[in-house]
Amino acid sequence: MNTLLALAIHAIITTANLPAGRQNVRAERSFSLADRYPDRGVNDVFRYNIVHTLDRMDAKSYSFMLQPGQVFAFHEDALPEFQGKIAATMRAHFNYTDGFKSDGWLMGDGVCHLASLLYWAARDAGLSALAPTNHDFATIPEVPKEYGVSIFAYDPKQNLYITNTFDKPVQFAFAVTGTNLTVKVID
pLDDT tens-digit map of 92-115:
889 999 999 999 888 999 999 999
User: How many domains does the chain divide into?
Assistant: 1
CB proximity list for 176: less than 8 A, separation 6 or greater: 4, 5, 7, 8, 11, 33, 51, 182
Give pLDDT, residue 6: 46
The share of the chain scoring above pLDDT 90, in percent, equals: 78
Q: Which domain holds residue 149?
A: 3-186
Give pLDDT, residue 59: 58
Q: What is the mean pLDDT of residues 141-151?
A: 97
Contact present, 62 and 14 (Cβ < 8 Å): yes
Give pLDDT, residue 14: 45
pTM for the whole structure: 0.88
The mean predicted confidence, pLDDT, of the chain is 89
CA–CA gap between residue 128 and residue 165 (Å, rounded): 6
The share of the chain scoring above pLDDT 70, in percent, equals: 87
Per-residue pLDDT of 6-52, as tens digits, reads 444 444 434 444 444 557 999 999 999 999 999 999 999 999 999 99
Angle, helices 40-57/111-125, rounded to nearest 10 degrees: 60
Q: What is the mean pLDDT of residues 47-59?
A: 88
Give pLDDT, residue 57: 80
CA–CA gap between residue 83 and residue 25 (Å, rounded): 29
- pLDDT tops 60 at residue 55: yes
- pLDDT tops 60 at residue 162: yes
- pLDDT tops 50 at residue 73: yes
Give pLDDT, residue 32: 97
Q: Where are the alpha helices (DSSP H) in the chain?
A: 3-16, 40-57, 111-125
